[in-house]
Amino acid sequence: MGRRALITGITGQDGAYLARFLLDKGYEVYGTFRRLSTPNLWRLEALGIFDQVKLIPVELIDSASITEALLASRPHEVYHLAAQSFVGASFEQPVGTGEVSGLAVARLLECIRHVAPETRFYQASTSELYGNNPQIPCNEHSTFMPASPYAAAKLYGYWITRIYREAYGLYAVNGILFNHESPLRGLEFVTRKITNALAKIKLGLEKKLTLGNLDAARDWGYAEDYVRSMWMMLQQEAPDDYVIATGESHTVREFLEAACEVAGLDPQQIVEVDPRFMRPLDVQRLEGDSTKARQKLGWRPTVGFKELVQIMMEADLQRWQRWQKGEKFPWDALNYPSEMTIITRSMKS
């Protein structure tokens, strides 16, 4: 009988790519999702795997539903990817972010300890743990300096994973993944916000792109490369924590300019900076050192920065061109509200 995996947050960017990766390896894949009035399943449909995964409704604030998911799937491996993962929103919803991105990790680990102690557990940690640490690049031994409610919640998740590993002998690992993008990235993230807006501008559907901090720098990789590392971590003899990164950082301005080059646009003519999109506290630069993962896992990125931008820019151009032709296909942009119409506390102050 083949191996079984349970992916929390299977409807997100990483969850969808990981599901396809595991299906290709012969896994039986289960995934948790939240029951909403309109289920967010477009990524699974876009990858052509919607009918190959088994979906289980779960609320991360409800231990009973987590236990039911474990009993239904009987997984050999659990990949915990579900979270409130948008840094900006964590300032607007700090308590909710703590519940979903932090305490939920403890609930899940406690359920695993009681009903599936042999299961191998992957915790999706984040480069945001490092905050504005001046020692760059950051590795597994660098000091954590969280600079957002999201990062603080994830820091709890990181440490509770290590505590359950050391206290109860669970096979539990932290993947400290730096930013990773793709055409399946959510529109609330700046990379996809840029490529989606530029595609609309190129096709005459919009005139301007409004951004916040153009000087923030991130270590951007390709999501499909990064989900491969998650699986590799759970195949090792002993559990450990790993940084996954490309080892180079680029500013939002550089991403914008590279995307404009692909689209044939002049950023000077179409981009505006609006202080409403500045975070109360921002991380200026993140860059990772994945030497340990390269040496112990054999992991390496296959897609560079310029190629990543091109993949995303061309994908959004093709989507809007298909939409103009009247095609119907799995996609998120048509249902996403303009950020200029969303009122937040920072905008009202």
Q: Tell me how far apart the alpha carbons of residues 251 and 284 are, in angstroms, rounded to a whole number.
A: 9
Residue 141 buriedness (CB in 10 A; 0-12 / 13-18 / 19+): exposed
Handedness of CA 47, 49, 50, 54 (dihedral sign): negative
Size (the chain), residues: 349
Q: What is the CATH number of domain 4-181+220-244?
A: 3.40.50.720
Residue ranges covered by each domain of the chain: 4-181+220-244, 190-218+249-285+304-348
Q: What is the pLDDT of residue 339?
A: 53
Q: Is residue 16 within 8 Å of residue 44, measured between CB atoms?
A: yes
Query: Quick one: tokens of 135?
Result: 């020692």
Cα–Cα distance between 228 and 38 in angstroms, integer? 29
Q: What is the DSSP letter of 296?
A: I
pLDDT digits over 234-277, tens only? 999 999 999 999 999 999 999 999 999 999 999 999 999 988 87
The pLDDT of residue 342:
47
- Residue 316's pLDDT is 98
pLDDT at 335: 79
Task: Supply the pLDDT for residue 166.
Answer: 98
310 near 182, Cβ under 8 Å? no
> Which residue is catalytic, options 27, 130, 150, 226?
150
Q: Is 344 a catalytic residue?
A: no
Hey, what CATH class is 190-218+249-285+304-348 in? alpha beta
Known active-site residue 32: no
The residue whose two tokens read 């900006």 is: 88
Q: Which of 16, 13, 109, 22 is nearest to 70 (CA)?
A: 109
Omega before 137 within 30 of 0, i.e. cis? yes
Residue 283 Cα to chain centre, angstroms: 17
Q: What pLDDT is attached to residue 348? A: 38
Give the pLDDT of residue 96.
84
pLDDT score, position 332: 94
Q: Say which amino acid occupies 31.
A: G
| Active-site residue, selected from the candidate residues 8, 97, 122, 128 | 128
Name the stretches of the chain with pLDDT < 50. 340-342, 346-349
144: three-class secondary structure by DSSP? coil
Which residue in 8, 11, 32, 126 is the catalytic one?
A: 126
**Cα-Cα end-to-end distance for the chain:** 58
Answer yes or no: 128 catalytic. Answer: yes
Question: Which tens digit of pLDDT belongs to each residue from 160-184?
Answer: 999 999 999 999 999 999 999 999 9
